[in-house]
Amino acid sequence: MKPFTAHHGLVAPLDRANVDTDQMVPKQFCKLVTRDGYGRVLFYDWRYLPGETPDPEFILNAPQYRGASILLARANFGCGSSREHAAWAVLDYGFRVILAPSFADIFYNNCFKNGVLPVVLPEDTIDTLFARAPSGLHLSVDLKEQSITDDQNFKASFAIGGFRKKCLLQGLDDIEMILQHEQKIAAYEEEACPLATLYSSL
pLDDT reported for residue 63: 97
> What residue spans in the chain does CATH classification 3.20.19.10 cover?
6-171
pLDDT reported for residue 59: 96
CB-count exposure of residue 177 (10 Å: 0-12, 13-18, 19+): middle
pLDDT reported for residue 108: 97
pLDDT reported for residue 41: 96
The hierarchical CATH code for the domain 6-171 is 3.20.19.10
What is the CA 94 to chain-centroid distance, rounded?
Answer: 9
> What confidence category does residue 31 fall into, taking pLDDT thresholds of 50, 70 and 90?
confident
Task: For the full predicted model, state whether its pTM sits above 0.75.
Answer: yes
> What confidence category does residue 188 fall into, taking pLDDT thresholds of 50, 70 and 90?
low
